[in-house]
Amino acid sequence: MERYIIALDMDGTLLNDKKEISFLTKNYLIKLSEAGHIVVISSGRPPRSILSYYNELKLDTPVICYNGAYIYKPHDNVFLDMNLMFKKDLTLEIYNKIKPYVTNVMFESLDNIYIDKYDESLDSFFWYRGMKLHTGDINDILNEDVYTFIGHYNGDGKELREVLNKAIENHPEIKLRFWTGAPYFELHFEMATKGVAIKEIAELYNIDKDHIISFGDAGNDIDLFKNSGHSVFMSNGEKSDLIKTKYVSVRDNNNDGIYYTLKEYFEDKLL
C-alpha cells in the first residue's frame, strides 16, 4: 500500500460553517488513519482549539499550530516539540512602531493571552477560555516571548501595510500576512509556515512530496500547497491569483468536500 500524508486546514476546510466535522468526513478520515495513512491537522489555531477535533478523529500524529510556528504531538511526552517564537523585546519594538495605526493587537504563549482589549472574533477562533487573559497597554502587560503577533485595523490596510513593512525592514526573517476576508493581519517568521512544517513531518515518517495531499482554503495555505504533491483548494475558498493548486475540491466544506475528494482519489487504491 502506498502511504500518504493528508494535511488538513481546519476553518473553511475540515470544519463546516458550524465548526463541526461532518459524519462522513470524520469516519472516512478515521478509516484512512486505520489503513496506515497519516492525517495531519494544519491550522493557524492554537493547540487548545485543535485538540477536541484531534481527539474526535482519533489521531496520534503531530499537529501543526499557529500556521507552523508550533508543532507538537498530543499525548506524547517523548515527541520533541518544534517552535518559533517572537522575543519579548522585539515584539514590543515592532508594536510601538505600529501602535497608532492599529485598533487592537493580540499576542499569546501557550498559557497566556495579551490583548489591548477583548475581541469576540479572535476569541471564537483562538478560544480564550482556560487561558490567563491579560488586557491593557501591551507595554505594561507583556512579559514573555510569544507565538502570535496579530492586529486589527480599520480601512483598507494600505497605509498600515507600509507602516508594518517599515517596522520589520531590519528583520528579513519576519513576514507580513493579511487575513482573507477579515480586517486582521499577522506577523510570522519566514520559516514558520505550514509548508515548512509539513516537510518536517514528512521527514519524520519518511514520506516523499508526491505522497502528500493537502487541503486548504486561504492564503496561509499557499506554502503548504507548494510542498504537497497533490494540493486541493476548497471550492468555497476565496479565489486569489497567488493560490495555485493541482485540484479544486469536489464539493465545499459544508458538503463533505474532503470526503468526496479523497474518496474519488483513493477509489482505485488499496486502503
Q: Where exactly are the structural domains of the chain?
A: 5-82+192-266, 88-189
For the chain, report the end-to-end CA distance as a whole number of angstroms.
7
The predicted-structure confidence for 5-17, as pLDDT tens digits, reads as follows 999 999 999 999 9
- Looking up cell 477560555 gives 129
Cβ–Cβ contacts within 10 Å for residue 210, how many?
11
Quote the Cα angle for 248-253-258, to 5°. Answer: 60
Residue 241 confidence (pLDDT): 73
Phi-psi region of 106 (alpha: psi -120 to 50; beta: other; left: phi over 0): beta
Equal fold, 5-82+192-266 vs 88-189:
no
Residue 269 confidence (pLDDT): 61
* CA 143/CA 193 separation, integer angstroms: 25
Residue 106: name the closest of 193, 191, 186, 47 by CA: 186
**DSSP H or E run through 135:** strand 132-135
Residue 113: name the closest of 152, 163, 155, 148 by CA: 148
**Structurally, what CATH architecture does the domain formed by 88-189 represent?**
2-Layer Sandwich (3.30)
DSSP class of residue 229 equals S
Asked whether 133 and 113 are in contact (CB, 8 A), the reply is: yes
Residue 271 confidence (pLDDT): 41
Q: How big is the chain by its Cα radius of gyration, in Å?
A: 19
Residue 246 confidence (pLDDT): 85
Would the CA dihedral through 176, 184, 46, 201 be positive or negative?
Answer: negative
Is 172 in a helix, a strand, or coil?
Answer: coil
* CA 236/CA 250 separation, integer angstroms: 10
Q: What is the secondary structure of 53-118 as a DSSP string? A: HHHHTT--S-EEEGGGTEEE-TT-SSS--EE--B-HHHHHHHHHHHGGG-SEEEEE-SSEEEESS-
Residue 270 confidence (pLDDT): 43
* CA 137/CA 29 separation, integer angstroms: 44
* CA 146/CA 169 separation, integer angstroms: 20
The predicted-structure confidence for 92-151, as pLDDT tens digits, reads as follows 999 999 999 999 999 999 999 999 999 888 888 788 888 899 999 999 999 999 999 999
Model pTM score: 0.86
**Structurally, what CATH architecture does the domain formed by 5-82+192-266 represent?**
3-Layer(aba) Sandwich (3.40)
Residue 79 half-sphere exposure, CB side, CA atoms within 13 Å? 17
- Sites in the chain below the pLDDT cut of 70: 268-271
